Structures are given as C-alpha cells and as structure tokens.
Amino acid sequence: MAVRGPLVWMFLMCYIFSHIIISHNTDLVEAKSFSKSEDLEIGKRLKTINKPAVKIIKTIHGERYGCVDFFKQPAFDHPSMKNHTYHYNMRPMRETKINSTGFGYLWENGVGCPIGTVPIRRVTKDDLLRLDSFGDNHKPRGSWNASTTYDPNNNGRFDQNHYAVVRTKNIGMKFNGATMELCVTAPKVEPTQFSSSRFHMQMGNDFVQVGLTVNPGFYKDNQPRTFVYTSAGGKRCFNSNCPVGIIIVRQDFPIGAPIPAKEVSRRGAKTSTYVTMGLIKDERNGNWWFEYGGDAVEVGFWPSSRFHQSFGNYIEWGGEVYRHSASLPRPEMGFGKLPMRVMNYDAYIRHITILDGNFNIDRNVKYVEIFRDDFLSYEVADIKDPHTPHDGHLIFFGGPESN
C-alpha cells in the first residue's frame, strides 16, 4: 500500500504528458478514429483524385503519378466542364517557340505518360488527412488580404502569412498575363510552415499563383517543388488534384514534383539557376495558360468559365511564408538572408513582364510598389533599372529564420 501513491502519481503524470504530445501532434495530423460515413467520404475524395490510370509511373525521385485519360482528370469534374469542347492537343493561337526536348528527364522511364493521358500525382489517405489538418491560412494568399491587426496574447499577428513582394498599384489597370524568371532556392522550413517564391494574379475574389514552394506539411520533405494554386468560386486547389484545379495538357510534366538537386541554386556560386514561368490569357477564347521554361511550354490551362472575372486586376511577385504559431520561428525566405542586391547572393525574380488589357507586352512595369508586413524578418528590393540591362526589371527578396 505504501507504493500506491507514487504509482498513481506516476500514472497521472504519464497521462498528462501523453495528452500534451497528442495535442501537439494535432497541429500536423490529428490521431482519431473515423466513423463509417467519414471513411466513406475520404474514400470518395481519394477516388476523385486517384482516377483510374492507364499506367503508374515514377519520377526520378520515386514519386508515383497515374497516367490518367485527358478527359478523366479531376478538373473535368467541375460543373463548368459538362459541355466542354476541349482537346488535349489544344494550344493558344499565337506564335510560340517549339519545345524539342520535353520533360522526359524528370521520369524514371525517360518519357512520361502515353499521349492522350496526363500525369496526376497519386494521393494517399494520410496525404488527405495531413492536408485537412491545416486551416485555410496554411494555404497561399495575396498580400492584399494581409492582416494588420496584432494579437497581444499571441505575440504577433492573427495572420501568420507574411510577404516580401513587389506588386502593381491600385490604379484601375487590367491584366491579361504575367511572366517571370525565378531563382531556384531551398529555404529551411519546419513541418507546420511553408515558404514560396511565386507570382500571384488576383482576379476579383479569385486568384492563381504559380511558382516554387517548400512545404513539408504537404510533401513531408524540404525540397523546392513547382506548384500552381487556384482559388475560384470559393474553392481552393493545389495543382491538379481537384475539380477547380488546372487542366493538364502535357503528358510529361509532373506538377508538384521536386526540382532536381542540380538545378537548385547555391548562395555565393558563380552562377545561379532559375526557372521561367508565365500565366497568359488566350486572346481568342479567354483560357488562362500556365507556361513553363524558356520555350514557354504550355503545361495546362484554366477555362475562362472557371473565374468570375475575365481579367487580372492585381499582380505581385516575391516571397510568401507561413508559420502555424507565433511561438515558432519564422521560416526562411529565399536563401534565408536579407537581400544584398547581388545576383549570386540573393533570391531574385527577374524579367518580370505583364500583358496589359490590350494584350500589349510591358517589360518595364513601372507602376509597382513594395510591400512587406514583417520589417524585422523579410525584405524586398525593387530594381527597375538594373546595372545589367539583360536582367530586365529585377526583384531581390529574402529573410532568415527568426523568432
């Protein structure tokens, strides 16, 4: 009987400690049992994403993609696609460079999917639960929605998304496209954070982002990955995994796959690597095309009917980060350093270009302003007239991990 008190006390402490651990882990994936109806709902969502595939192929990083019939990809489940007239071989009616190499080097088979199919990343139940465990704030946003209200009890903002961007001014302009050349970096990011280098096109209440992201909460690693993000009609979607997402047309481009290690820039190296990305509206039918690489290869598109507005009214280029709690360090942005305004030492976006309301190309983009909402951690520099003219309109941005 003499040891009963200590045993009870030890049991009580173990219970409290285990409860704390479980509560902390709910920030990532909540451990719980599911009802039969919840399991059925999860199964239904998995079927929507993991459509029957002609074959399963792997990227050079070993990630599985299903080669899905073009017309059976998730984006065709959107109500606006019931009377579609699209074909997988459609392209905008304008002059583009011919891509002679393709993206076969990103696949184990050296080719990608068969013609007439498109690669859709396979998603597991754990992937869905991890995605669901994050709130809407752990998703891309625009700087125009940034909160300026402080929470004294949380040692910081209500809004844990932070930005260091150059953005167009509110002067009533209309935009039909934007492009950029983006330095490839791999910032340090914790599991409940993300750090993205991207541009953001706002279309009324809808928007599209394209760029690179490090998001270990979604992907379970810290590799920079290509991403597109759609917010339309109150629905949100990464890449091509839901009805509101992008319609893929390339059979060999794995959206969401890591950038090969040899293409990731090293700070201080003699040269830096970059990727070229664009979001361009087709003047003929209003469809919005995601273009990738120096050859402006059309990877996929969003039908004009997907958005409530037919033009962009704001564009921004730069970095966006998110941290789950003010008690956690702020994640790195870019190279994890404040800009020195030196190409080989800074994360940069160069050759920013817009397509105006009349489909004229503007490479100067003079009507912009700097925005950053965390002056201690992140910085951005706008260089409209660089010393090296071949860099065009140039943006430096970045910041270290900090408390």
Average pLDDT of the residues in 167-196: 95
Pick the more confident residue, 209 or 44: 209
Q: Can you say how many angstroms the Cα of residue 321 is from the centroid of all Cα atoms in its chain?
A: 11
Q: Where are the domains of the chain?
A: 134-398
Burial track 120-156 (b if 16+ CB lie within 10 A, e otherwise): bbbbeeebbbbbebbeeebbbbbbeebeeeeeeeeeb
**How many whole angstroms separate alpha carbon 192 and alpha carbon 5?**
40
Report how far residue 105's alpha carbon sits from residue 112's, in angstroms, rounded to the nearest whole number. 9
DSSP class per residue in 331-399: PPBTTSS---S-TTTSEEEEEEEEEETTS-EESS--SEEEEES-TTT-EEEEESS-SSGGG-SEEEEEB
Q: Hey, is 179 helix, strand or coil?
A: strand
Q: What is the mean pLDDT of residues 26-30?
A: 39
Pairwise pLDDT comparison (25 vs 136), residue with the higher score: 136
Q: Which CATH number fits domain 134-398: 2.60.120, 3.40.50, 1.10.150, 2.60.40?
A: 2.60.120
Tell me which of 321 and 44 has the higher pLDDT.
321
Best-predicted range by mean pLDDT (136-140, 225-229, 328-332): 225-229
pLDDT score, position 278: 97
Q: What is the pLDDT of residue 89?
A: 56
Task: List the Cα angle 128/129/133 in 5-degree steps.
Answer: 120
Residue 36 — pLDDT band, cuts 50, 70, 90?
confident
pLDDT tens digits for range 345-370: 999 999 999 999 999 999 999 999 99
> Residue 364 corresponds to which tokens in the numbers above?
């100067």
Query: Is residue 338 within 8 Å of residue 164, measured between CB atoms?
Result: no
Q: Which of 34-43, 97-106, 282-291 has the lowest mean pLDDT?
A: 97-106
Q: What's the confidence (pLDDT) of residue 13?
A: 42
Which residues lie closer than 8 Å to 271 by C-beta, 6 or more apart? 344
Note the pLDDT tens digit of each residue in 328-343.
888 999 999 999 999 8
For β-strands 368-372 and 161-168, DSSP reports them as antiparallel
Rg (alpha carbons) of the chain, rounded to whole number: 22
Instruction: Indicate whether 26 pLDDT > 80.
Output: no
